[in-house]
Amino acid sequence: MKTKRIKAKYEAWLSTEIIHNDSRKWLSELMFVKDEQLFFDDLVKSYTLQLIDSKYFAKSKIIVEQLSALQKETNMLIDTIIIHERGLEVMVDGINQIDEENAYKDEHGKLIIEVSEFLKKNRTLKTQLFSLIKGIIKEGKQKRLLQ
């Protein structure tokens, strides 16, 4: 069964203030995600021995690879949004440049979708990582209780 990709159409009047606030909010969220990813790196390092245990190895390898890819994507998305924010000048320069302004609004609409999908992906990965680490911690506690 094939899934159909829905092409979202974001047709709204976007003021420069709304675009600026969206960009600032995204940057704030992405900087927080970047800090979280540093925490996840430390968490993975703390439980490396348990994660390379044959019982968890396959799942942990996939999660660690996804985490690494997500870190690269975070940095690229931050750079893209910074560039997008700097391009806001097209909207406020007082010159009617209809094509450039429409292209900028289209880019903003695409960024709305891209950031939303990225944050959803990040939440999913976080959930997987935490459930894996939770399982490792529970198993470690059970082993200590049995000894």
pLDDT 10s digits, 56-97? 888 889 999 999 999 999 999 999 999 999 988 877 777 778
Q: What is the model's pLDDT at position 6? A: 57
Q: What is the model's pLDDT at position 12? A: 55
Q: What is the model's pLDDT at position 2? A: 63
| pLDDT-flagged residues of the chain (< 50) | none
Q: What is the model's pLDDT at position 58? A: 87
Q: What is the model's pLDDT at position 22? A: 92
Radius of gyration of the chain (CA): 21
Q: What is the model's pLDDT at position 7? A: 56
Q: What is the model's pLDDT at position 90? A: 77
User: Rounded distance, CA 128 to CA 44, Å?
Assistant: 13
Per the listing, tokens 């939770």 go with 134
Cβ 121 vs Cβ 69: under 8 Å: no
User: Rounded distance, CA 145 to CA 92, Å?
Assistant: 66
Cβ 122 vs Cβ 70: under 8 Å: yes
User: Rounded distance, CA 16 to CA 19, Å?
Assistant: 5
Cβ 26 vs Cβ 115: under 8 Å: yes
Q: What is the model's pLDDT at position 21? A: 92
Q: State the Cα torsion 83-86-90-93 to the nearest 10°.
A: -170
User: Rounded distance, CA 122 to CA 4, Å?
Assistant: 23
User: Rounded distance, CA 40 to CA 35, Å?
Assistant: 9
User: Rounded distance, CA 129 to CA 42, Å?
Assistant: 12
Q: What is the model's pLDDT at position 96? A: 78
